[in-house]
C-alpha cells in the first residue's frame, strides 16, 4: 500500500558500507523502519544523509507491506526546516537524548495522531526557544501521557512522591522521594511550553529532576532503559 504521511526521524543505523536503516514515527502508521540503499554514498539520489538527522520532520511517500518487515521509502522531503535544533549544541544534545528515549518507548505500528502532533509541536517549540534548558524535561514528562504512565498530580500538595504508584502521599517509604525535586516536578507539570523560558532553574535542580523522571520511567515505561546520551549531555553541560 502506498502512503503519503508526515514522519519524524527516530534513528538512523548504518547497514553495510553505504546502506542505512531509518526508523520513523509516522502520522499514518506509527513506527516504521525503512532500508535506504546507498545513502552514505549518495550525491545525486533522491535522499540525502542530512534529511535523516535525529528528530527531523519529513513528508514521505512510502510503500507499506504491513508484514512487520522493513518498508520501502519512495520519496522524502523535509517538511519543517529547523532554525537551530541541529546546529545549537544544547538543542542538538537534547535532540539525541529525546530521540533515544522515543526509539526505546515508541514501538506501535498503529496511528496515534495525538502523539504525533504533540511531538511535532514540542520539537518546533524547542527549535524556536532562546532558552532551551528545561525543554527536554517537559517533553519527556508530557510523553508519558501517551505511554500510559503519566503521574497523578491531584494530591501534589502532599510531601512525598511514590515512584511505584505514580502519585503523592502523606508518608515516606522506600519508594518515595521528597524535597525540592518534588516541588519542581509539580511546577514542570503546570508550566506550558510557552512559559518554560521564564522558569528559573539551576543545573542541580535539572539534574535531580531528570534523575527522578528517568527512575520513574524505568518502573513504568515498557522497553525503557536509562539512555546512554544522558552521560554525554552531562559531560557537556554539567
Count the domains in the chain. Answer: 2
Sheet holding 176-178, edge to edge: 167-169, 160-162, 176-178
Each residue's pLDDT tens digit, 4-63: 999 999 999 998 888 999 999 999 999 999 999 888 776 666 788 889 999 999 999 999
Q: Are both 118 and 170 inside the same structural domain?
A: yes
Query: Which of 56, 81, 106 is the C-terminal boundary of a domain?
Result: 81
**Distance from C-alpha of 10 to C-alpha of 46, rounded to nearest angstrom:** 20
Q: Are both 154 and 199 inside the same structural domain?
A: yes
Q: Are both 126 and 182 inside the same structural domain?
A: yes
**Residues 52 and 9 sit within 8 Å (Cβ to Cβ):** yes
Q: Are both 40 and 66 inside the same structural domain?
A: yes
Q: Are both 155 and 200 inside the same structural domain?
A: yes
Q: Are both 179 and 76 inside the same structural domain?
A: no
Q: Are both 112 and 224 inside the same structural domain?
A: yes
Model confidence, pTM: 0.93
**Residues 181 and 208 sit within 8 Å (Cβ to Cβ):** yes
Q: At which residue does the C-alpha cell 532551551 appear?
A: 132
> Which grid cell sits at 1?
500500500
User: In this predicted structure, what is the pLDDT of residue 40?
Assistant: 76
- Side-chain half-sphere CA neighbours of 159 within 13 A: 5
**Distance from C-alpha of 43 to C-alpha of 57, rounded to nearest angstrom:** 21
194-224: buried (b, 16+ CB within 10 Å) or exposed (e) per residue? eebeebebeeebbbbbbebbbebbeebbeeb
Q: Are both 154 and 168 inside the same structural domain?
A: yes
User: In this predicted structure, what is the pLDDT of residue 74?
Assistant: 93
Query: Which of 81, 116, 151 is the C-terminal boundary of a domain?
Result: 81
Each residue's pLDDT tens digit, 202-238: 999 999 999 999 999 999 998 899 888 787 767 665 5
Q: Are both 30 and 112 inside the same structural domain?
A: no
**Residues 71 and 22 sit within 8 Å (Cβ to Cβ):** no
Query: Which of 64, 81, 98 is the C-terminal boundary of a domain?
Result: 81
**Distance from C-alpha of 157 to C-alpha of 182, rounded to nearest angstrom:** 10
Residue 57 sits in a domain whose CATH number is: 2.40.50.140
**Residues 220 and 143 sit within 8 Å (Cβ to Cβ):** no
Q: Is 62 helix (H, G, I), strand (E, B) or coil?
A: strand
Q: Are both 174 and 221 inside the same structural domain?
A: yes
Q: Are both 11 and 102 inside the same structural domain?
A: no
**Distance from C-alpha of 70 to C-alpha of 63, rounded to nearest angstrom:** 10
Report the DSSP beta bridge partners of residue 161.
168, 177
Q: Are both 138 and 190 inside the same structural domain?
A: yes
Residue 166 sits in a domain whose CATH number is: 1.20.1440.120
Domain range enclosing 16? 1-81
Query: For the chain, what is the mean pLDDT?
Result: 93
What Å distances lie between residue 176 and 58, 121, 168, 179, 190, CA to CA? 41, 33, 9, 10, 21
Amino acid at each position: 500500500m502506498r502512503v503519503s504521511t508526515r514522519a519524524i526521524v527516530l534513528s538512523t543505523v548504518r547497514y553495510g558500507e553505504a546502506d542505512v536503516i531509518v526508523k520513523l514515527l509516522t502520522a499514518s502508521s506509527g513506527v516504521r523502519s525503512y532500508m535506504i540503499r546507498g545513502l552514505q554514498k549518495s550525491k545525486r539520489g533522491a535522499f540525502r544523509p542530512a534529511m535523516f538527522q535525529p528528530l527531523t520532520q519529513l513528508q514521505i511517500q512510502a510503500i507499506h507491506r504491513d508484514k512487520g518487515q522493513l518498508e520501502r521509502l519512495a520519496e522524502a522531503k523535509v517538511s519543517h526546516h529547523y532554525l537551530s535544533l541541529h546546529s545549537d549544541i544544547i538543542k542538538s544534545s537534547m535532540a539525541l537524548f529525546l530521540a533515544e528515549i522515543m526509539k526505546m518507548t515508541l514501538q506501535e505500528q498503529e496511528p496515534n495522531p495525538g502523539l504525533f502532533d504533540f511531538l511535532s509541536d514540542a520539537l518546533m517549540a524547542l527549535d524556536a526557544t532562546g532558552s532551551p534548558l528545561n525543554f527536554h524535561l517537559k517533553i519527556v514528562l508530557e510523553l508519558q501521557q501517551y505511554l500510559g504512565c503519566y503521574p497523578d498530580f491531584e494530591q501534589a500538595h502532599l510531601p512525598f512522591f511514590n515512584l511505584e504508584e505514580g502519585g503523592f502521599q502523606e508518608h515516606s517509604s522506600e519508594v518515595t522521594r521528597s524535597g525540592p525535586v518534588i516541588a519542581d516536578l509539580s511546577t514542570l507539570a503546570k508550566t506550558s511550553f510557552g512559559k518554560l523560558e521564564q522558569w528559573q532553574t539551576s543545573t542541580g535542580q535539572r539534574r535531580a529532576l531528570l534523575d527522578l523522571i528517568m527512575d520513574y520511567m524505568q518502573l513504568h515505561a515498557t522497553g525503557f532503559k536509562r539512555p546512554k546520551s544522558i552521560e554525554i549531555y552531562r559531560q557537556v553541560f554539567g
